[in-house]
Amino acid sequence: MKKITLWLFVISLILISLIIFTTLIKSSHTSPYFITISGNQLQEQVDLVPDQLWFDMIAKGNDPISSISFELKNKNITGWIDLNLDSNVAIFQRLDAQQDHVPWSVYTTSTSEKAIGSYQIDLQTSQQNLNLQFHNTPIRYQLEHSEQQSVQLSGQLQFKVPSHWPVLKSKRFPQLPIQGQFIFDEQPYQLIRMNSAVSQHSVLHDPISYQFSLKHQDQWVDFTFQQDNISSQPLVQITTHDQLYQLKSPAPQNLWHEDDKKIVIRAKNILLQAKSGQTKSLNINLVIPKNYAHLSINHQDAKLIPANSELLAEARNEQKIYQLSFVQQHQLLTLELIEEMQGNFSLKFITEDGEQYFCGNTSTACPGLTIEPSKQTFLFNQVKLGSHLLNGSLFIAGVL
């Protein structure tokens, strides 16, 4: 009887050991790249094997990579990460997944609770590895139909990027050739961004409205110019981090001149005043080239809408993309010109209703589309996008 009891005890120990060993195997990471979510009575882990990740890397204009969206192949797992342009900082914006067919998400909700990590790029011959690391950074977790809770996110990811992809290059697009200077408070400022308030409802003589963001060292200012059809005086103001400056006296004549191809801003030693009474001087002598188009869609003229400089051009993985908007009979139309890895161009046309039409692809050039060697002038000769027929020309001046 004692022998039977002893054998039962030994067998029990073996079974317990096997269970513990099996549990350890299941709980260990199958990949060195994973994300772990830890919280009150919560532990979630997602393995993110680099070779099983589909991803889109986005870089605006000629700037470094600014964001990554990714999807795990054959899994209901997607994510989105922002990268800081000025430092090696990564912000984990969102991760959506499923556990036993129940959806859950983690996401950044505010500027005070960002899931901040770091990233670095390892240079290799045929590819570059973008490595991201997060360590107990706060983020919000939400299971379907339940309240969100604060949790901790940790782990590391790797994205393998072919070295020849444009998204890794610094000079992808032609630079906008701005002439002249912008001098505020005796300091020269560089134009960084340029936006217009023109919309699809605008007509030829609608008000002019532009905002320019400029930088001197670590100081930023916004320069605003607005001119309507009623007032004889334009609105001219400069916004700093703590003050709003407006013209102290009437604007000089010929301060602003704009035609289809350029904007010219000229003013010598004009004064602007804040509510505090503080005054600053402004000297401007700028010539800014514009994008312009003479394009018809189904034999009717389409008007080019001035592009937000941050949205005009981007690199997405192996593609370089220009995005421009047109208005025709109060309908907003979007045209993407896509330079593929092989050097040919394809087109994507989007209607106001969201319908999409394509011409050409990664290996086939769009028939009827001709590009001049500078890759800034595009000629359309009976280009077909669905039932839409494009004719005319388009010039892209460059990117900031």
- Tell me: the pLDDT tens digits for 71-128? 998 888 999 999 986 788 999 999 998 877 788 899 987 766 678 999 888 877 788 9
Q: Indicate if 159 and 35 belong to the same structural domain.
A: yes
- Mean pLDDT highest for which of 32-46, 82-96, 230-244, 368-382? 368-382
Least confident of 140-144, 182-186, 341-345: 140-144
Q: Which of these three, 289, 314, 342, is where a domain ends?
A: 289
Contacts of 377 (CB under 8 A, 6+ apart): 371, 393, 394, 395, 396
Specify the range with the lowest mean pLDDT, choosing from 27-31, 110-114, 176-180, 370-374.
27-31
Same-domain check for residues 270 and 207: yes
Q: Which residues contact 190 (CB under 8 A, 6 or more apart)?
A: 182, 214, 215, 216
Residues 387 and 358 in one domain: yes
Closest CA to 140 of 45, 37, 43, 48: 37
Residue 206: per-residue pLDDT: 61
> In which band, very low, low, confident or very high, does the pLDDT at 16 lie, cut at 50, 70 and 90?
very low
Same domain for 188 and 312? Answer: no
Give the amino acid at 42.
L
Whether 374 is covered by a domain: the verdict is: yes
Continuous H helices in 45-133:
none
Q: Please tell me the pTM assigned to this model.
A: 0.85
Higher pLDDT, 13 or 262: 262
Q: Do residues 281 and 192 share a domain?
A: yes
Instruction: With respect to residue 71, please indicate whether it lies within any of the assigned structural domains.
Output: yes
Same domain as 298, residue 277: no
Q: What is the number of structural domains in the chain?
A: 3
Of the two residues 67 and 310, the one the predictor is more confident about is 67
Q: Is residue 186 part of a domain?
A: yes
Q: Is residue 30's pLDDT more than 70?
A: no
Rounded to an integer, the average pLDDT of 231-255 is 90
Whether residue 5 is contained in a domain is answered as no
Query: How high is the mean pLDDT of the chain?
Result: 87
Residue 328, domain member (yes or no): yes
| pLDDT on residue 61 | 94
Contact at 8 Å (CB) between 198 and 306? yes
Q: Do residue 232 and residue 318 come from a single domain? A: no
Per-residue model confidence (pLDDT) at position 268:
94
Same domain membership, residue 163 and residue 36: yes
Taking CA atoms, 238 is separated from 246, 283, 294, 400, in Å, by: 7, 12, 34, 20
Q: Is 315 helix (H, G, I), strand (E, B) or coil?
A: strand
Is the per-residue pLDDT at 333 higher than 90? yes
pLDDT one-digit tens code per residue, 114-152: 789 998 888 777 889 999 999 999 999 988 778 888 899
124 occurs within a structural domain? yes
In whole angstroms, what is the distance from residue 18 CA to residue 24 CA?
A: 10
* Band (156; pLDDT cuts 50, 70, 90): very high
Residues 45 and 81 in one domain: yes
Are 312 and 366 within one domain? Answer: yes
The predicted structure's pLDDT at residue 203: 47
pLDDT at position 154, please? 94
* Domain residue limits at 82: 31-168
Using the 3D structure, point to which of 230, 260, 289 is the last residue of a domain. Answer: 289
What's residue 112's pLDDT? 61
118 and 191 both lie in a single domain? no
Q: Which residue among 110, 145, 168 closes a domain?
A: 168
Residue 154 domain flag: yes
Whether the Cβ atoms of residue 245 and residue 237 lie closer than 8 Å to each other: yes
Burial class of 269 by CB neighbour count within 10 A (0 to 12, 13 to 18, 19+): exposed
> pLDDT tens across 247-269, in order?
998 888 889 999 999 999 999 99
Query: Looking at the domain assignment, is residue 25 inside a domain?
Result: no
Residues 191, 83, single domain; the answer is no
